[in-house]
Amino acid sequence: MQIKELVAKYQEIADFLNTRWPLKDHNQRVFARTMKIVEELGELADEILTSMNLQRNSKIAKFSRENLEDEFADVLGSLILLGCELEIDVEAIIQKKIDFTRERFEMDKDKKDQSSKN
């Protein structure tokens, strides 16, 4: 699935949530989306700790890779929902950040050096 498709699907979810559980204004929706990210990130952290055997035995016994993946997806989905609320072009900002990171760590320098040697 492409990022644009993913964002479009989450925009549908955002529209549904805003209709089903309307909040007073934009600021309340941003706050609610932000708090949801915090909640979901905590749940993901819990699953990661469990996967590392750093939780009580009863949690470790119930661990599954599927739960870990579900919590990861919840975090990502919650971030996209916040992006929708803030009218962020998710695809554009991700590409911008990738380009920045590649430049910052000179990731393409080695490729250019290899090409010039050949």
* 13/58 same-domain check: yes
Tens of pLDDT, residues 7-37: 999 999 999 999 999 999 999 999 999 999 9
* 80/46 same-domain check: yes
Return d(Cα 107, Cα 1) in angstroms, integer: 26
* 52/100 same-domain check: no
Domain count, the chain: 2
Residue 64: what pLDDT?
97
Residue 118: what pLDDT?
62
Residue 67: what pLDDT?
97
* 30/59 same-domain check: yes
* 57/17 same-domain check: yes
Residue 116's pLDDT band (boundaries 50, 70, 90)? low
Residue 108 belongs to what domain range? 92-118
* 11/48 same-domain check: yes
Residue 22: what pLDDT?
96
Residue 3: what pLDDT?
95
* 83/108 same-domain check: no
Cβ atoms of 80 and 7 within 8 Å: the answer is yes
* 103/82 same-domain check: no
Tens of pLDDT, residues 30-78: 999 999 999 999 999 999 999 999 999 999 999 999 999 999 999 999 9
* 97/114 same-domain check: yes
Residue 109: what pLDDT?
85
Alpha helices in the chain (DSSP H): 3-20, 26-51, 57-62, 65-85, 90-104, 109-117
* 10/56 same-domain check: yes
Mean pLDDT score of the chain: 95
Give me the amino acid identity at 51: S
